[in-house]
Amino acid sequence: MKKKMMSVVLTGAMAVSMLASAAPAMAAEGSATGDHTLSVYAWDANFNIPALKAAEADYKANVDPDFVLNIIEQSGSSDVENAVTLAASAGDYSQLPDIVLFQDHYIQRYVNDYPDAWVALDDIDIDWSDFGEEKLSYSTIDGAHYGVPVDNGTAIFAYRVDLLEECGYTLDDVTGISWDEFIEIGKNVYEKTGKYLLSMDGSGNDLPYMLLQAEGVSQFKDGEPYITENETMVQIITKIVEMIQNNVLYLGNDWSDYTDQTIVGDMVAGVMNGNWIIPTIEQVAENSGKWEITTLPTLEGGGKEGYAANGGSSLYITGNCQNVDLAKDFLAKTFGGSTETYDAALTDGGVITCCVSAGQSDVYNAGVEYFNGQPIYATIVEMGSHVIPVEQNDYHYPCRTYIGTAIQQILEGADVESALADAESQLRFDMGL
């Protein structure tokens, strides 16, 4: 596994080397100013970085007036992953900052491969029971906590309630329903409005994972692919194909087609994804007040509401941290449950907390005009507390790719069983099984 990761890094050696050459000086800057400074790698100037600035202001105002958080902006999450891999391969963690923001779906692989790159957080002053179990399942490895959650990946299903009403439906009519019922409603919506009730990026299809999680089922079982013998997977893929064939689901060619054409381009009456999709929905100003959110349909329906998550990240203390006690205290008193941090992170960057108590503030319970006055942020935090943890695996993204290819093959005439068998075979090969 390490050799495979190294080959990925070497393909981008020039970019990574530039990052690495700059990193030691940046990290040193974080620790050279004394016991009041920490350095952190993060990306996204409009999302994660405002959340970190909110935490810095909170800690500075309420704990340590001399505190400084040296935020070192990266172009993307892959920069952080490459920096950790390069440092580990060189056996020199001095290239890393005190803290890094890291994607949830990748962290278990990196902790297992490079255990010396991380600091366990079991003695940190955080009430872990105040966080959703699913969110913590990524950063809890062999029973030890390693990360402090930042952003909430809870999935929402947002609907254009004005279009539903035009077709004779309300939000209640699409809440707690089965996918079969959803398909019938979707057919009617398309016939009357010409809009799809759902869309997704075909090149990075996250639907199978989210729909499976809403059933409490994973794509993996005991560390191996769980696809062909997974009856729930077979049912879900069948429903996805049926939705595409009946103009209920539009499968975009790529991410841009999904967001720019279908959502911003106003082709849909419904959007389902991690709640980070909200800013994309809100780009269409004339649709303000026409959207509302609810939970996911399930195979069973009958009032059963589906809960899932997609995406998200957490903060991790590195093996190079020069003041672990300060880092732990900073994380505990900010992202560990501070209403002040999370209120500002939401208003300044749109980051939604995973901390249940922080999600009960007045800021979170305020009605959101774009979503017809719904207090969507408090709702999302509450929904996140119900997401069922399912088995995670380092090969989450390759699995997504192969399942997405299987869906395309089925649409072109292949039968479901053979397409999924091919996907499982390729995934097992990648995993060396």
User: Tens-digit pLDDT profile for the chain (433 aa)?
Assistant: 333 333 333 333 333 343 433 343 343 343 444 689 999 999 999 899 999 999 999 999 999 999 999 999 999 899 999 999 999 999 999 989 999 999 998 899 899 999 999 999 989 999 999 999 999 999 999 999 999 999 999 999 999 999 999 999 999 999 999 999 999 999 999 999 999 999 999 988 999 999 999 999 999 999 999 999 999 999 999 999 999 999 999 999 999 999 999 999 999 999 999 999 999 999 999 999 999 999 999 999 999 999 999 988 999 999 999 999 999 999 999 999 999 999 999 999 999 999 999 999 999 999 999 999 999 999 999 999 999 999 988 899 999 999 999 999 999 999 999 999 999 999 999 999 9
Which CA distances in Å does 114 have to 17, 138, 407?
Answer: 19, 16, 35
SS3 content of the chain, % helix, strand, coil (to 5): 50, 15, 30
Evaluate the CA torsion angle 12, 9, 351, 323 in order and state its sign: negative
Q: Is 2-153+310-360's fold the same as 161-308+389-430's? A: yes
Work out the percent of the chain whose per-residue pLDDT is above 90: 87
Determine the length of the chain: 433
Cα–Cα distance, 130 to 141 (Å, whole number) = 18
Please enumerate in sequence order all residues whose Cβ is within 8 A of that of 181, keeping only pairs 6 or more positions apart, or say none: 297, 301
432's torsion region: left (phi>0), alpha (psi -120 to 50) or beta? left
Task: Give the sheet arrangement for strand 291-294, strand by strand.
Answer: 270-274, 155-160, 291-294
Delimit the domains of the chain by residue range: 2-153+310-360, 161-308+389-430
Class of domain 161-308+389-430: alpha beta
Residue in this structure with the two tokens 């190079």, named with its chain if needed? 320
According to the model, what pLDDT value does residue 24 have? 37
Class of domain 2-153+310-360: alpha beta
Tokens of 186: 């979707």
